[in-house]
Amino acid sequence: MLEFSSEAAAYEAFVTQHSDGLPVVLPTPERVERMLTGTREHPDDVVGLVYPSGNEATVRDVAVNAVMAGAEPRQLRLILAVLDAVLDERFNINGIQSTTHCAYPLVIVSGPLAFESGLSAGNNVLGNGLRGNLSVGRAVRLVLTNVGGGRPGETDMAVQGTSAKISFCVAERLDTGCFPSLAERQGGDASETSVTIMAADGPITVSDHRSATPERLLTNVADTLRHMGSLNAAAPGPAALLLAPQHARVIARAGWTVADIQRFLFETARNPLRRLHQGGEWDPVEPLYSIARFGDANDPDTLVPVLATPESLLVAVTGGDTGGFSAVVTSWPASMVLHRFVAHDGSYSKPARERIPA
Amino acid sequence: MRDAVTLEALGIPTAIIVNDVFEPIAHATSALLRLPDDYVAKNVVWLPHPTSNLTDERAAALIDDRIDAIRDVLLGRTRVAALAPAVPRTGAPDRESLETARAIVHGLAESLRADGADLVLSDFAEGTLAGELRIGELTCDDGSCIMPTDALERMVEAMVRPKIASLRSVTLREIRLIPD
Amino acid sequence: MIVVHDPRGGRVAASPTLAARPPSLAGLRLGILDNGKEKADALLRRTAELLERDGASLTFARKPSFSRVAPPEAIDALKMCDIVVTGLGG
């Protein structure tokens, strides 16, 4: 426990030493006890090791940082499930915390528990104003900073980072009737809720109010997805498509499924070798993987995908109904997309099929 | 380094061999893990960067050259420079401290030069060590091989202070060398 | 006065201690932990060779994947060693 002579002194110490740069809610014993009512997990249980410090994060430690983030007790079970996945060795949080890249976990919550926990999937879901989304994302950030020791300029060498590093959490729209939810596609039923994480770049907007067919709309998406500046262009991997409901309806009305979206983008979000030789990270001498899978390495017209497989693309419907703006999120390669199912009582389990094949 | 800390805590002396380009990260990690100030000096043996392009014969020769340092770490024989006197002597004490500081950051400056930058300490007066981070044509395309200036200032301070007690702060000016 | 929880966690690793040093390397069991990229092999192999000439005996050598900390099984196996050399970055 930390002792301060006054609340002002505590405020100052916390905002300078234990925050994301913004003031935090002071984690008094009363507030932390109230936060812990949001889970049935024991406060001393270890959620995982947080790198680069390698210190253990207990359920209580997470609750402390959740209080600081401004979260409510009903969000704690989601925060714990997210951190359980983030601290999974395969996610490589050590690499993410220290890389010069802007990588940060994108969190997608899919299922009814999202809304019961105060999250929103509507307007401005990636922006400001949604307390539940921002609190969950911020709680994760604070654990990574305070328990893990990931601090800018010291152990976090991100060149620019991204504002998503403050908070990057969305919930999926379940009411559009377009596709089964991400939780259902991971093997859950309609009553179950999953959290999905991906080591992500910041989001890129795809604006489209003109396309009335899936092909035309997704050609726009493909062009954004394959941009040369992402690490996917040099090394195919996972990516996420945060699909606006308006766009989801264009696709679903034509009878397309999520698998159709994934297949189309796997085929079209590609760069010809001649383009990759003109700029960017692509190393023509030592490509990061064998091109033989996709064609002749000596043919400048060979098309190199940005997705490792069709299933590498995470698709979630999110955002308001007021227009046609979706977002594409490319990824940081030395990590893995992970999912967790969250039970109502806050306990979490891994889905039967976890690994998206490379 | 974390593995070495775990092993030392288990009672097993552990020597760490690292390329010198990682010296700044070693110090930052050491501070994060709350290791003693001289941990890096006593437990790490530096190799000149890069090593990934060495032939096996040259790699072996390099180790032959460094084996004494490795033995010193395992046997606890590594000598760490004694602290300079706290009271500055009359004459030109600041110039001496400047020379001492330059010697201390020699390895760091060398690793920066290997990447196209340079650290030049120019003045030590009234407790402030001043210098320049000169950035030329970097070997890395994304600039990631060079630490940010304020982090470098903290690094230099951490490296110099154990040996120069009168040091109060480090100020580095960043200068970009414009190619012809 | 105000008392609040420490957000860095209750179980902060205590300041680590250094192991006591042996008087000589003769008869000691040597472990090699290769955390590095290419060429770490050659460097650590030569190191082991030379330390064996000092009388140490190579008991364990391990090469896990880079940029991760050594898995618990590797640390467990290294517990049977008296001295360890680890490396190497880049």
DSSP class per residue in B19-84: EGGGHHHHHHHHHHTT--TTHHHHHEEEEPSP-TT--HHHHHHHHHHHHHHHHHHHHT----PPPP
Asked if pLDDT for residue C90 goes beyond 60, the answer is no
pLDDT in tens, A62-105: 999 999 999 999 999 999 999 999 998 888 887 788 776 778 99
At A320 the pLDDT is 96
Task: Using an 8 Å CB-CB cutoff, list chain C residues near B111.
Answer: none
Q: Do C39 and B59 touch (CB under 8 A)?
A: yes
Beta-carbon contacts below 8 Å between A and C: 80
At A47 the pLDDT is 93
Task: Using an 8 Å CB-CB cutoff, list chain A residues near C3.
Answer: 1-4, 28-29
Secondary element (H or E) of residue A206: strand A204-207
Task: Using an 8 Å CB-CB cutoff, list chain C residues near A95.
Answer: 67
User: Rounded to a whole number, what is the distance in Å from the CA of B146 to chain A's nearest CA?
Assistant: 10
Three-state DSSP at B9 gives: helix
Beta-carbon contacts below 8 Å between A and B: 25
pLDDT in tens, A3-23: 888 888 889 889 988 999 999
Nearest by CB: B151 against A54, A153, A159: A153
pLDDT in tens, B3-53: 888 888 888 999 999 888 777 777 777 776 777 778 888 899 999 877 877
Secondary element (H or E) of residue C36: none
- φ/ψ region of A351 (left if φ > 0, alpha if ψ in -120 to 50, else beta) reads beta
At residue B89 the predicted structure's pLDDT band, cuts being 50, 70 and 90, is very low
Please check whether residue B142 is in contact with residue B64, taking contact to mean a CB–CB distance below 8 angstroms. Answer: no
The domain ranges of chain B are: 2-75, 93-176
Task: Using an 8 Å CB-CB cutoff, list chain A residues near C68.
Answer: 89, 92, 94
Task: Using an 8 Å CB-CB cutoff, list chain A residues near B144.
Answer: 100, 157, 159
pLDDT in tens, B147-176: 778 778 888 888 888 778 788 888 888 887
At C17 the pLDDT is 76
Chain B residue with Cα closest to C81:
B12
Mean pLDDT in chain B?
79
Cβ of residue B79 closer than 8 Å to a chain A Cβ:
no
User: Rounded to a whole number, what is the distance in Å from the CA of A99 to chain C's nearest CA?
Assistant: 11
User: Rounded to a whole number, what is the distance in Å from the CA of B144 to chain A's nearest CA?
Assistant: 6
pLDDT in tens, A230-247: 989 988 899 999 999 999
State the DSSP code for A240.
E
Ranges A104-113, B57-66, B89-98, C50-59: which has the least confidence:
B89-98
Tell me the one-letter amino acid at A147.
V
* Complex confidence, ipTM: 0.84
Q: Which residues of C touch A (CB under 8 A)?
A: 1-13, 67-69
pLDDT in tens, C7-56: 988 555 556 678 889 989 999 999 998 875 556 788 999 999 999 999 99
**What would the CATH number be for the domain defined by B93-176?**
3.30.300.130
Q: Do C19 and B12 touch (CB under 8 A)?
A: yes
Provide mean pLDDT across the span B97-107: 85
Chain B residue with Cα closest to A99:
B144
Which of C38, C43, C63 should be substituted to probe chain B, the one whose Cβ sees the most B Cβ atoms within 10 Å?
C43
> Nearest to residue B66, comparing CAs of A245, A80, C85?
C85
At B41 the pLDDT is 85
The sign of the torsion formed by the CA atoms of A15, A19, A22, A26 equals: negative
Q: Do A27 and C3 touch (CB under 8 A)?
A: no
Task: Using an 8 Å CB-CB cutoff, list chain C residues near A14.
Answer: 4, 7
Q: Do C88 and B47 touch (CB under 8 A)?
A: yes
Burial C69-81 (b: 16+ CB within 10 A, else e): bbeeebbebbeeb
Query: Which chains share 3+ C-beta pairs under 8 angstroms with C?
Result: A, B
Task: Using an 8 Å CB-CB cutoff, list chain A residues near C5.
Answer: 1-2, 27-29, 32, 60, 64, 67
Name B123's bridge partners: B130
User: Rounded to a whole number, what is the distance in Å from the CA of A341 to chain B's nearest CA?
Assistant: 32
pLDDT in tens, A22-66: 999 999 999 999 999 999 889 999 999 898 787 889 999 999 999
User: Rounded to a whole number, what is the distance in Å from the CA of A352 to chain C's nearest CA?
Assistant: 24
Cβ of residue A357 closer than 8 Å to a chain B Cβ:
no
What is the distance between the alpha carbons of residues A353 and A349, in angstroms, rounded to a whole number? 12
Chain A residue with Cα closest to B148:
A153
What is the distance between the alpha carbons of residues A264 and A267, in angstroms, rounded to a whole number? 5
At residue C62 the predicted structure's pLDDT band, cuts being 50, 70 and 90, is confident
pTM: 0.66
Chain C residue with Cα closest to A5:
C1
Cβ of residue C72 closer than 8 Å to a chain B Cβ:
no
User: Rounded to a whole number, what is the distance in Å from the CA of B42 to chain C's nearest CA?
Assistant: 10
Q: How far is CA A23 from CA A73, A155, A321, C5, C10, in A?
A: 20, 22, 33, 16, 22
Query: Which chains share 3+ C-beta pairs under 8 angstroms with B?
Result: A, C
Which of B144, B145, B155, B156 should be substituted to probe chain A, the one whose Cβ sees the most A Cβ atoms within 10 Å?
B144
Task: Using an 8 Å CB-CB cutoff, list chain B residues near A153.
Answer: 148, 150-151
* Beta-carbon contacts of residue B175 (< 8 Å; ≥ 6 apart): B132, B133, B134, B135
Q: Do A4 and C12 touch (CB under 8 A)?
A: no
